[in-house]
Amino acid sequence: MLKNKKIVVFASGSGTNFINLYNNVKNGEIVLLISNNSNSGAIRYAIENQIDYKVINDFRYPDINIKNIEYESVLSDCKPDLILLAGFMKRIPSNIIELYPNKIMNIHPSLLPKYGGKGYYGIKVHEAVIKSKDRITGATVHFINNEYDRGPIIKQCKINVKDLDDAFSLSKRVLKVEYSLYLDVVNLFCLDKIKINNTEVTINE
């Protein structure tokens, strides 16, 4: 009998990926939301649905060392099996990455390694795709490490770029892919079907 995985989500903005995961994940339970933005849609949803949440940001914790210790303390209290980044706009501290190796996932709105790294986020990714006249784009779920968007890739989903697409229309279509892809990967993890050896990820579907 599989035991439900305990999941913590980090989100900064509207929280649509967080909401989709909360409502649809199987064999897992989102036990905590962490955000750097107390006015975010993710926090509002957490309050409305009585989901535990914690705000950790530079305003509340101006000393970076104290802030990083707070991340560690909060996570230690709930002992997550999996940490999900869902539009979280801050870098995860190295102490957290070291404590939770191969247990922190991110969703990125491109086919990594293309359009990944510092400066490539949100609409900027889709603008780069349009500018480069790429015919195919998509989304990537990957484990994180200490380099932006360079952690081992778990799974990707491709879509065609349409002739009439601009960055905004493309972002909407990629976001739909993100919802289904992220949920698929999280459910596979919760069923113990994702394994990683060094940087090689295998999925037993």
CA atoms within 13 A on the CB side of 190: 22
Three-class secondary structure of residue 141 per DSSP: strand
Catalytic residues: 108
User: Would you state the torsion angle of the CA atoms of residues 22, 26, 27, 29, taken in this order, to the nearest 10 degrees?
Assistant: 10
Tokens 């968007």 found at: 149
Beta bridge partners of 147: none
What's the CA gap between 148 and 165, in Å, rounded? Answer: 27
What's the CA gap between 46 and 168, in Å, rounded? Answer: 27
Burial class from Cβ neighbours inside 10 Å (0-12, 13-18, 19+) for residue 164 reads exposed
- β-strand pairing of 82-85 with 153-160: unpaired
